[in-house]
């Protein structure tokens, strides 16, 4: 089975993220959307809320799993038997940042990183932009799946 880990904070998950998950399912038997713990980040949504958003999106897609982890991504990949890390690239800056991480991960573990270019229609979307819109009471709904709603 080809299993890929799609790590991130998903605070919140956006249409850009879901586009990458959907397109990656043509290559992988299973995609694990894994919410990592970054001690340097301050989250808008708590872990349970973020997991709930993602689980509700993929409720009818058994090949998409949702989980949380701490520690190194490569260690978690080895723990769950994922041979691939899935990452999305929006722009050249993303590529340069992700390239260094991918080389390091492959050197340390042999785990390959597969990059997906974001679709043109979602390339401008980022979770940080969505959080900024939400924090100012703006309409964020065109940037996220319908399951992501503020109560």
Write down the pLDDT at residue 36.
92
Specify whether 90 is catalytic: yes
Consecutive 10-residue averages of pLDDT for the chain (151 residues): 97 97 97 90 93 97 97 97 96 91 96 96 94 96 95 70
Domains of the chain are 3-135 (3.40.50.620)
CB 92 within 8 A of CB 77: no
The active-site residue out of 23, 90, 99, 106 is 90
Specify whether 136 is catalytic: no
Specify whether 103 is catalytic: no
The active-site residue out of 17, 50, 65, 87 is 17
Cα four-point dihedral sign 131, 33, 65, 79 = negative
The active-site residue out of 9, 24, 65, 127 is 127
Q: What is the pTM of this model?
A: 0.94
Specify whether 121 is catalytic: no
Write down the pLDDT at residue 91.
86
Write down the pLDDT at residue 41.
82
C-alpha 35/C-alpha 8 separation (Å) is 5
């Amino acid at each position: 089975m080809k299993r890929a880990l799609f790590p991130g904070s998903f605070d919140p998950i956006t249409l850009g993220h879901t586009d990458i998950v959907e397109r990656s399912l043509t290559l992988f038997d299973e995609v694990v959307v894994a919410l990592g713990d970054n001690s340097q980040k301050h989250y808008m949504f708590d872990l349970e809320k973020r997991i709930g958003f993602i689980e509700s999106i993929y409720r009818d897609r058994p090949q998409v799993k949702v989980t949380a982890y701490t520690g190194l991504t490569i260690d978690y990949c080895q723990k769950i038997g994922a041979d691939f890390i899935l990452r999305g690239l929006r722009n050249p800056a993303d590529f340069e940042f992700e390239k260094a991480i991918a080389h390091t991960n492959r050197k340390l573990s042999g785990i390959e990183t597969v990059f997906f270019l974001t679709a043109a229609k979602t390339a401008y979307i980022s979770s940080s932009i969505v959080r900024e819109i939400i924090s100012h009471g703006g309409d964020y709904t065109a940037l996220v799946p319908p399951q992501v709603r503020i109560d």
